[in-house]
Copies of this chain bind each other. A is one copy, B any other.
Amino acid sequence: VLVTNGDVDHVTGLLGLRERQPLIMLATQNTLDRLGENRIFGVLADDMVRRVSVTLGERVEALPGLHVEIFAVPGKVPLWLETGSVEIGVEDGSTIGVTVSVGGTRAVYIPGCAAVSESVRAQIDGADALLFDGTLFTDEEMIAAGVGTKTGRRMGHMPISGAGSSIDALADIATGRRIFIHLNNTNPVLIEGSAERRATEARGWEIAFDGMELLL
On A, residues with C-beta under 8 Å from B are 8, 11-12, 15-16, 18-20, 38-40, 42-43, 79-81, 147-149
Q: A20-B147, A147-B20 are in contact. Are A80 and B39 (CB under 8 A)?
A: yes
Q: Is there an interface contact between B12 and A80, defined as CB atoms closer than 8 Å?
A: no
**A20 and B15 alpha carbons, distance in the complex (Å):** 22
Q: A8-B43, A38-B40, A40-B8 are in contact. Are A19 and B79 (CB under 8 A)?
A: yes
**A15 and B15 alpha carbons, distance in the complex (Å):** 11
Instruction: For A16, list chain B residues within 8 Å (CB).
Output: 12
**A148 and B19 alpha carbons, distance in the complex (Å):** 8
**A19 and B8 alpha carbons, distance in the complex (Å):** 10
Q: Is there an interface contact between A15 and B12, defined as CB atoms closer than 8 Å?
A: yes
Q: A12-B15, A18-B8, A38-B38 are in contact. Are A43 and B80 (CB under 8 A)?
A: yes
- Whole-angstrom distance between the Cβ of A97 and the nearest chain B Cβ: 23
Q: Is there an interface contact between B8 and A15, defined as CB atoms closer than 8 Å?
A: yes
Instruction: For A81, list chain B residues within 8 Å (CB).
Output: 39
Pick 14 A–B contacts, CB within 8 A, sort by A.
Answer: A8-B18, A11-B40, A12-B12, A12-B15, A12-B16, A19-B79, A20-B149, A38-B38, A38-B40, A39-B80, A39-B81, A40-B40, A40-B80, A43-B80
Q: Is there an interface contact between B8 and A148, defined as CB atoms closer than 8 Å?
A: no
**A81 and B79 alpha carbons, distance in the complex (Å):** 24
Q: Residue on B with the closest CB to A7?
A: B43
**A38 and B38 alpha carbons, distance in the complex (Å):** 7
Instruction: For A80, list chain B residues within 8 Å (CB).
Output: 39-40, 42-43
- Whole-angstrom distance between the Cβ of A134 and the nearest chain B Cβ: 19
**A43 and B78 alpha carbons, distance in the complex (Å):** 10
- Whole-angstrom distance between the Cβ of A113 and the nearest chain B Cβ: 20
Q: Is there an interface contact between A20 and B148, defined as CB atoms closer than 8 Å?
A: yes
**A20 and B43 alpha carbons, distance in the complex (Å):** 27
